[in-house]
C-alpha cells in the first residue's frame, strides 16, 4: 500500500482527460507519441508504432485492424507532463465504429481533432466531429503535416466552418509553410515561437514576445515572412472570431493550432496552450443531480469493455471513468446495476507500453478493471449503497441486419456465449424473434465492418463457424413500454422482435413504412435509441 499523501483538490485540478479523433493517416498516432515523448513516458519516437507490430502486445483479433490499416479499438494512456496528469483516449478512425467513439467521448472532457494540412476536413473527420458535437465538449483542432506544402491556412480555417459548421479561433498561426515552416505566432500570448532544427524541434529556439509590428520580429523573420505575418494577423483580427472561453467550453468555437507531429514543430506549444485552456474534470450529470468531481465519495461508470487485449491471458477489461472520490488499492465498491459489492482487485492503468497496477486514482482518471463478465457498458460503481446512476450511454440504432446461426449445432452454447459477450462489449446488438417453433437470432450493426469483426472473433476466439444472411431492414425502432404489442398493426415488409433486455422492437425497410405503422397504430411511440441503463 502506498503511503503517499495526496492533496485531493490539487490532484483533480491537474488532470486533463481527452480523446483524439482524426481521419486515418492524419497523424493521430504520431502526435500521441510526441505527447508521450514530451511527458517523458517514452524515450524514443517509434515506440508506440512498434507496439502495434509487436505480436505479443497486440490482441489477435486486431489482425483485422492491421489488414485494413484502421484502428478498430480505442485505448487509453496516462502520462504526466509538467504539472499535469493526462489521460488520452484514442478512438477508432473508421466511421463504422462511431458507436465506440461515442462511448469513448462520454469518458472524455474534451477532444483534439487532428487534420492533415494537405487534405483539410476528410470524410471520417466529419463523422467523428458530429459525434463530438453530440457530446457538447470542447474541441481543439491541430492542423498537422505543416512540414509539407499544404493548403493555405485561411482555406483550412474556412473548411472547418463550411464542412463542420464550427467557428474557429486560430491561437497559433503558422509562419511559413512546407520547407519554410519556421514557427508559429501565438495570438493569445502575443509571441513568436521559432523552431529549432538542431534538436528536432524539441525545444523552441527563439521565443520573442511583443506586438506583431515590433521591429524585433522583423529582424528575426526577415521582411518577407514578417510582411506576410502582419497581413495574416490583421485579417484574422478583423474578419475572424474573438477568443471566447465560454464558447470553447461549450464546443461552439474551436481553438486552432498548426504544426508538424513528425518534426515536432508546434507540438509542444500546442500541448501547453491546450492544457491551459481545456478544463479539468467537471461535474457530471446523474439521476441524483450533478456530481462534483471534488466530492470525496467514490463514483464512476463503465464506458467500454475490451476483450483479449492480451491473447496470452484471454482477459476482458472494463474501462472505468472515475467521476468523484479517490480509488485506493483493493477497495470495495457498490455495483449499482447488479446491487452487489465488488472488490476492485488489481485495476490497471495503461502507460506508454506497459500496464501498471493502480495504487491511487482520482476523478478524471480511467482505470481498467479485470472483468469476469459482471460489467456492462453504462454500469455505475459507487462508494456505498446509494441508487446513483450516471446518465445512460445510448445505443445507436443499427442500420444493417443479418440472421445468424451456428453451422455446428453442437457448438450452440459457445456460439451464444460469444454473441452475448460481444453484445456486452457493444461490438454488435443482438435481437431475437420466434421462428418456426424455435428462435431466430438477428445481429444489428451501425457499420458493416462490425459484421467482419463479429465473424472474425467468433471464429478465432470462440471456435464457432457461422451462417449469416443479410436482411433487407435498414431501420429499427424501440416501442414504448405501455403499448399493447398484440394490437400492433404491421406492414408486410416490417418485422417484430425483442432486444437483449426483452424490449420489443420493430424492423423496417424504409421510412415510408415507419410512417405508415405510426399512422395505423394509435398510442405507439417509436424511439431511435434505447438507453443501456436507466
Ligand atoms: P494516424 O492514422 O492518424 O494515427 O496517422 P499516423 O500517425 O500513423 O501517421 C500517418 C502517416 O503520416 C505516417 O506515415 C506518419 O509518419 C506521417 N505523418 C504523421 N505526422 C506527420 C507530419 O507532421 N508530417 C509528415 N510529413 N508526415 C506525418
Query: Strand (E) positions, 98-203?
Result: 110-116, 139-144, 167-170, 172-175, 183-186, 191-195
Residue 501: pLDDT band (50, 70, 90) is: confident
For cell 463514483, the residue is: 299
Which residues make up the CATH 3.30.70.3280 domain(s) of the chain? 400-527
Inform me whether the pLDDT recorded for 202 exceeds 80: no
Q: What is d(CA 92, CA 516) in angstroms, rounded to the nearest whole number?
A: 37
Ligand 1 lined by 95 (C-beta under 6 Å)? no
Predicted pLDDT of residue 254: 98
Q: What percentage of residues in the chain have a pLDDT greater than 90?
A: 49
CA atoms within 13 A on the CB side of 520: 11
For cell 431492414, the residue is: 473
Q: Under a CB-based contact definition with an 8 Å cutoff, are residues 213 and 239 in contact? A: no
Inform me whether the pLDDT recorded for 66 exceeds 70: no
Predicted pLDDT of residue 78: 85
Out of 21, 27, 70, 122, mutate this one to test ligand 1's pocket (max ligand atoms within 8 Å of CB): namely 27
Q: What is d(CA 232, CA 135) in angstroms, rounded to the nearest whole number?
A: 33
278-297 pLDDT, tens digit each: 999 999 999 999 999 999 99
22 is in an annotated binding site: yes
Predicted pLDDT of residue 312: 55
Partners of 184 in the β-ladder: 174, 193
Q: What is d(CA 464, CA 487) in angstroms, rounded to the nearest whole number?
A: 39
Query: Strand (E) positions, 242-379?
Result: 253-258, 284-286, 289-291, 299-307, 316-324, 326-328, 332-335, 340-343, 348-350, 355-357, 360-362, 366-370
C-alpha cell at 37: 515523448
φ/ψ (deg, to 5) at 120: 70, -155
Predicted pLDDT of residue 288: 92
Predicted pLDDT of residue 301: 95
Instruction: Please count the other Cβ atoms lying within 10 Å of the Cβ belonging to residue 346.
Output: 12
C-alpha cell at 136: 457538447
ipTM field: 0.99
Helical H runs in 94-148? 98-107, 123-135
Instruction: Please count the other Cβ atoms lying within 10 Å of the Cβ belonging to residue 314.
Output: 11
Q: What is d(CA 210, CA 192) in angstroms, rounded to the nearest whole number?
A: 8
Predicted pLDDT of residue 50: 39
Contacts (Cβ under 8 Å, ≥6 apart) of 37: 43, 45, 202
More confident residue, 92 or 221: 221
Across the chain, mean pLDDT equals 85
Predicted pLDDT of residue 197: 65
279 is in an annotated binding site: no
Predicted pLDDT of residue 325: 94
In 3D, which of 301, 351, 349, 345 has the Cα closest to residue 322? 301
28 is in an annotated binding site: yes
Q: How far does the centroid of ligand 1 lie from the alpha carbon of residue 25, in Å? A: 6
Atom of ligand 1 nearest to the CA of 69: 2
CATH code for the domain defined by 284-382: 2.40.30.10
Q: What architecture is the 400-527 domain classified under in CATH?
A: 2-Layer Sandwich (3.30)
Partners of 308 in the β-ladder: none
Mean pLDDT score, 474-480: 93
Mean pLDDT score, 186-211: 71
Q: What is d(CA 380, CA 421) in angstroms, rounded to the nearest whole number?
A: 19
407-425 pLDDT, tens digit each: 998 999 999 999 988 888 8
Inform me whether the pLDDT recorded for 251 exceeds 80: yes
352-385 pLDDT, tens digit each: 556 667 778 999 999 888 888 888 888 999 998 8
More confident residue, 444 or 71: 444
Atom of ligand 1 nearest to the CA of 31: 7
| Range of lowest pLDDT (377-386, 504-513, 514-523) | 377-386
Which residues make up the CATH 2.40.30.10 domain(s) of the chain? 284-382
Predicted pLDDT of residue 531: 55
**Would strands 475-479 and 504-508 be described as parallel, antiparallel, or unpaired?**
antiparallel
Q: How far does the centroid of ligand 1 lie from the alpha carbon of residue 530, in Å? A: 38
Predicted pLDDT of residue 291: 95
SS3 255: strand
Instruction: Please count the other Cβ atoms lying within 10 Å of the Cβ belonging to residue 316.
Output: 20
Inform me whether the pLDDT recorded for 271 exceeds 60: yes
Which residues make up the CATH 3.40.50.300 domain(s) of the chain? 17-75+97-277
Residue 534: pLDDT band (50, 70, 90) is: very low
Q: What is d(CA 99, CA 131) in angstroms, rounded to the nearest whole number?
A: 9
Give residue 502's region: left, alpha or beta (phi > 0; psi -120 to 50): left
Predicted pLDDT of residue 53: 38
Contacts (Cβ under 8 Å, ≥6 apart) of 186: 171, 172, 192, 193, 269, 273
Reported as type and span, the H/E element at residue 247 is helix 245-249
**Would strands 167-170 and 253-258 be described as parallel, antiparallel, or unpaired?**
parallel
91 is in an annotated binding site: yes
82-106 pLDDT, tens digit each: 999 999 998 776 667 777 788 888 9
Inform me whether the pLDDT recorded for 257 exceeds 80: yes
Sign of CA dihedral 465, 471, 477, 483: negative
| Range of lowest pLDDT (40-44, 181-185, 387-391) | 40-44
Ligand 1 lined by 23 (C-beta under 6 Å)? no
Atom of ligand 1 nearest to the CA of 26: 3
17-75+97-277 fold: Rossmann fold (3.40.50)
- Residue whose CA lies nearest to ligand 1 atom number 15: 27
Q: What is d(CA 119, CA 23) in angstroms, rounded to the nearest whole number?
A: 10
Residue 121 CA, chain-centre distance (Å), reads 18
pTM confidence score: 0.83
Ligand 1 lined by 26 (C-beta under 6 Å)? yes
Inform me whether the pLDDT recorded for 204 exceeds 70: no
Amino acid at each position: 500500500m502506498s503511503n503517499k499523501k495526496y492533496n485531493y483538490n490539487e490532484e483533480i485540478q491537474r488532470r486533463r482527460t481527452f480523446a483524439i479523433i482524426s481521419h486515418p493517416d492524419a497523424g493521430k498516432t504520431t502526435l500521441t507519441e510526441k505527447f508521450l515523448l514530451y511527458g517523458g513516458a517514452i524515450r524514443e519516437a517509434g515506440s508506440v508504432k512498434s507496439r502495434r507490430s509487436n505480436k505479443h502486445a497486440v490482441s489477435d483479433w486486431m489482425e483485422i485492424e492491421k489488414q485494413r490499416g484502421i484502428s478498430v479499438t480505442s485505448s487509453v494512456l496516462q502520462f504526466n507532463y509538467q504539472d499535469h496528469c493526462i489521460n488520452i483516449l484514442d478512438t477508432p478512425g473508421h466511421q463504422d465504429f462511431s458507436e465506440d467513439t461515442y462511448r469513448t467521448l462520454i469518458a472524455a472532457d474534451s477532444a483534439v481533432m487532428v487534420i492533415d494540412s494537405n487534405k483539410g476536413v476528410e470524410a471520417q473527420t466529419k463523422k467523428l466531429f458530429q459525434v463530438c458535437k453530440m457530446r457538447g465538449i470542447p474541441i481543439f483542432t491541430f492542423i498537422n503535416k505543416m512540414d509539407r506544402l499544404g493548403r493555405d491556412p485561411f482555406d483550412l480555417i474556412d473548411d472547418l466552418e463550411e464542412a463542420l459548421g464550427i467557428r474557429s479561433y486560430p491561437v497559433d498561426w503558422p509562419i511559413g509553410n512546407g520547407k519554410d515552416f519556421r514557427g508559429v505566432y501565438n495570438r493569445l500570448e502575443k509571441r513568436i515561437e521559432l523552431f529549432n532544427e538542431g534538436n528536432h524541434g524539441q525545444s523552441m529556439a527563439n521565443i520573442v514576445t511583443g506586438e506583431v509590428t515590433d521591429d524585433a520580429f522583423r529582424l528575426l523573420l526577415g521582411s518577407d515572412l514578417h510582411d506576410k505575418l502582419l497581413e495574416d494577423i490583421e485579417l484574422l483580427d478583423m474578419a475572424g472570431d474573438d477568443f471566447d472561453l465560454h464558447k470553447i467550453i461549450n464546443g461552439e468555437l474551436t481553438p486552432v493550432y498548426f504544426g508538424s507531429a513528425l518534426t515536432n514543430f508546434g507540438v509542444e506549444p500546442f500541448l501547453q496552450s491546450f492544457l491551459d485552456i481545456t478544463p479539468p474534470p467537471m461535474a457530471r450529470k446523474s439521476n441524483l443531480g450533478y456530481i462534483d468531481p471534488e466530492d470525496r465519495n467514490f463514483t464512476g461508470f463503465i464506458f467500454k469493455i475490451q476483450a483479449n487485449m492480451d491473447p496470452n491471458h484471454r482477459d476482458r477489461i472494463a474501462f472505468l471513468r472515475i467521476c468523484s472520490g479517490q480509488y485506493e488499492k483493493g477497495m470495495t465498491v457498490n455495483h449499482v446495476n447488479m446491487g452487489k459489492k465488488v472488490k476492485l482487485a488489481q485495476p490497471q492503468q495503461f502507460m506508454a507500453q506497459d500496464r501498471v497496477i493502480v495504487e491511487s486514482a482520482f476523478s478524471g482518471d480511467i482505470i481498467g478493471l479485470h472483468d469476469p463478465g459482471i460489467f456492462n457498458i453504462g454500469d455505475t460503481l459507487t462508494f456505498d449503497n446509494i441508487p446513483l446512476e450516471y446518465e445512460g450511454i445510448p445505443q445507436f440504432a443499427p442500420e444493417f441486419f443479418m440472421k445468424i446461426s451456428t453451422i455446428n449445432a453442437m457448438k450452440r452454447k459457445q456460439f451464444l456465449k460469444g454473441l452475448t459477450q460481444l453484445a456486452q462489449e457493444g461490438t454488435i446488438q443482438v435481437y431475437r424473434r420466434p421462428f418456426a417453433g424455435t428462435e431466430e437470432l438477428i445481429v444489428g450493426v451501425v457499420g458493416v465492418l462490425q459484421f467482419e469483426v463479429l465473424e472474425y472473433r467468433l471464429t478465432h476466439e470462440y471456435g464457432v463457424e457461422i451462417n449469416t444472411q443479410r436482411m433487407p431492414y435498414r431501420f429499427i425502432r424501440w416501442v414504448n413500454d405501455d403499448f399493447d404489442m398484440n394490437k400492433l398493426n404491421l406492414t408486410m415488409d416490417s418485422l417484430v422482435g425483442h432486444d437483449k433486455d426483452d424490449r420489443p422492437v420493430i424492423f423496417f425497410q424504409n421510412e415510408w413504412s415507419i410512417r405508415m405503422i405510426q399512422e395505423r397504430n394509435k398510442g405507439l411511440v417509436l424511439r431511435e435509441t434505447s438507453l443501456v441503463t436507466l
